[in-house]
């Protein structure tokens, strides 16, 4: 257990947004990410004596990530994965283009989203370390030094990892991406 509530409060204030953001990115559900954040800090409070103090940020991130992935897996089992209604937000926007232009724009956005999802999924399957680095740096917008620290690697190693990931993406999806953008 933590020796005092002041020490726990300092850790909580310092890392609560990181844990919440990680939980949200991996679960896709804000309410669930709040619960995951709460559970993560409860686990920290209970098992604090067993942890190395230097590993707290990476432990928090990993615990939140795993809890969010478990939540998402459970949700997919409970509910048939119907495509979430992404078009509902578009219906609220004022109409400024012709119906044909809006339709074509919607198709293009859908194709971009599908390609993006395929790329992210392929990265996750091909190299989970690249995936973690990508999430921390590009989605959670953490400084690269902080992301490297959380992953337990040097910043130079993180740079090399991100560079190899980008090179792999260009090699595997470059032609498809260029063709999609050329059609505009």
pLDDT of residue 37: 92
CATH of the domain at 65: 1.10.1740.10
Q: Which domain holds residue 95?
A: 84-184
pLDDT in tens, 125-161: 999 999 999 888 888 888 899 889 989 999 999 999 9
**61, 82, 103 - which closes a domain:** 82
Query: What sections of 79-127 are H helices per DSSP?
Result: 87-91, 99-126
Q: pLDDT averaged over the chain? A: 82
CATH of the domain at 89: 1.10.10
d(CA 20, CA 31): 10
Assess contact for 102 and 94: CB atoms under 8 A: no
d(CA 143, CA 138): 9
The pTM score is 0.51
d(CA 86, CA 107): 12
pLDDT in tens, 44-92: 888 888 888 888 888 999 999 999 988 888 877 765 544 444 444 445 5
Give the DSSP H or E segment for 167: helix 155-182
């Amino acid at each position: 257990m933590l020796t005092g509530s002041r020490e726990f409060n300092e850790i909580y204030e310092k890392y609560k947004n990181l844990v919440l953001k990680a939980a949200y990115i991996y679960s896709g559900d804000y309410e669930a990410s709040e619960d995951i954040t709460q559970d993560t800090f409860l686990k920290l409070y209970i098992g604090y004596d067993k942890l190395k103090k230097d590993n707290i940020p990476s432990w928090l991130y990993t615990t939140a990530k795993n809890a969010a992935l478990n939540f998402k897996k459970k949700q997919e089992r409970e509910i048939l994965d119907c495509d979430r209604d992404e078009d509902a937000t578009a219906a609220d926007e004022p109409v400024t283009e012709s119906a044909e232009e809006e339709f074509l724009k919607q198709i293009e956005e859908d194709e971009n989203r599908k390609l993006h999802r395929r790329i992210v999924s392929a990265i996750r399957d091909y190299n989970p370390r690249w995936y973690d680095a990508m999430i921390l740096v590009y989605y959670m917008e953490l400084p690269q030094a902080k992301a490297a620290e959380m992953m337990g690697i040097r910043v130079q190693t993180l740079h090399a990892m991100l560079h190899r990931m980008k090179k792999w993406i260009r090699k595997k999806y470059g032609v498809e991406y260029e063709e999609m953008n050329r059609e505009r």
